[in-house]
Chain A
Amino acid sequence: SYVLTQPPSVSVAPGKTARITCGGNNFGSVSVHWYQQRPGQAPMLVIYHDRDRPSGIPERFSGSNFGNTATLTISRVEAGDEADYYCQVWDISSDHPVVFGGGTKLTVL
């Protein structure tokens, strides 16, 4: 089954670009989804199927998936982007088919 590895924390200055990675084996065969969770709130889907944005998510949020690494990129970072970010995949062959990464705390300096 998949083990998704994320860095515990990423820091970025306002207006700069944040990149949050999610490492896993054989990512090329599965779709990766990304969630934002602000303190005290439920997670919110920000990227699905590697690179697609739900309606209402700013274009500043983008995703990619190459080889064994998926990346969430946040351009022109704002203070309101400070949150925890989680990647997620489905592994239908697993006893735990929905797998989440451990999360990355994005700090806006």
Chain B
Amino acid sequence: QVQLQQSGPGLVKPSQTLSLTCAISGDTVSSRSAAWNWIRQSPLRGLEWLGRTYYRSKWSNDYALSVKSRIIINPDTSKNQFSLQLNSVTPEDTAVYYCARGVLAGTGDALDIWGQGTMVTVSS
């Protein structure tokens, strides 16, 4: 049974970096049939996909244009986890952040396993 366990701080100061980690059990981050995603949810913007990392014959990333200049998603094969770094945060980045596994279903990935969510507040 695949599970995702998130960790990271719930409070980040403006202009600093938001960092979260998602530990995987029951699957591997280097699986060739999965992608590892970050999504956030806020009352203003609803569910918003941020990006993903995945391994096929090499590691690749896809990022949402809205955060592309500020985001890094990295796999960590030694710990079987992946991480989110969002730089230069503002109060608009306040949201619940989720990690999720994506698996191909038809023409695009379905997010079939989700982490528990982390409420991140950007405030001084």
Is residue A42 contacting chain B, with contact meaning CB distance below 8 A?
yes
Instruction: Report the separation of the CA atoms of residues A87 and B18 in the bound assembly, to the nearest whole angstrom.
Output: 28
Contact B108 A100 (CB under 8 A): no
Residues of A within 8 A of B (CB-CB), count? 29
Most chain A beta-carbon contacts within 10 A, residue among B39, B48, B109, B110: B110
Contact of A90 among B48, B109, B112, B114 (CB under 8 A): B109
Contact A89 B46 (CB under 8 A): no
Contact A96 B66 (CB under 8 A): yes
* Complex interface bits, B108-124 against A, C-beta within 8 A gives 1, otherwise 0: 11111011110000000
Contact B47 A49 (CB under 8 A): no
A/B pair count, beta carbons within 8 Å: 71
Residues of B within 8 A of A (CB-CB), count? 23
Contact A45 B107 (CB under 8 A): no
Contact of A48 among B39, B46, B64, B112 (CB under 8 A): B112
Q: Among residues 86 to 119 in chain B, which have CB atoms less than 8 Å away from a CB atom of chain A?
A: 98, 105-112, 114-117
CB B76 to nearest CB in A, in angstroms, measures: 22
CB B124 to nearest CB in A, in angstroms, measures: 27
Is residue A54 contacting chain B, with contact meaning CB distance below 8 A?
yes
Is residue B27 contacting chain A, with contact meaning CB distance below 8 A?
no
Contact A49 B46 (CB under 8 A): no
* Complex interface bits, A80-106 against B, C-beta within 8 A gives 1, otherwise 0: 000000101111100111111011000
Contact A31 B105 (CB under 8 A): yes
Q: Among residues 52 to 109 in chain A, which have CB atoms less than 8 Å away from a CB atom of chain B?
A: 52, 54, 86, 88-92, 95-100, 102-103
CB B9 to nearest CB in A, in angstroms, measures: 19
Contact B116 A43 (CB under 8 A): no
Contact A45 B111 (CB under 8 A): yes
Instruction: Report the separation of the CA atoms of residues A41 and B41 in the bound assembly, to the nearest whole angstrom.
Output: 12
CB A15 to nearest CB in B, in angstroms, measures: 29
- Taking Cβ atoms with an 8 Å cutoff, the residues of A that contact B are 29-31, 33, 35, 41-45, 48-50, 52, 54, 86, 88-92, 95-100, 102-103
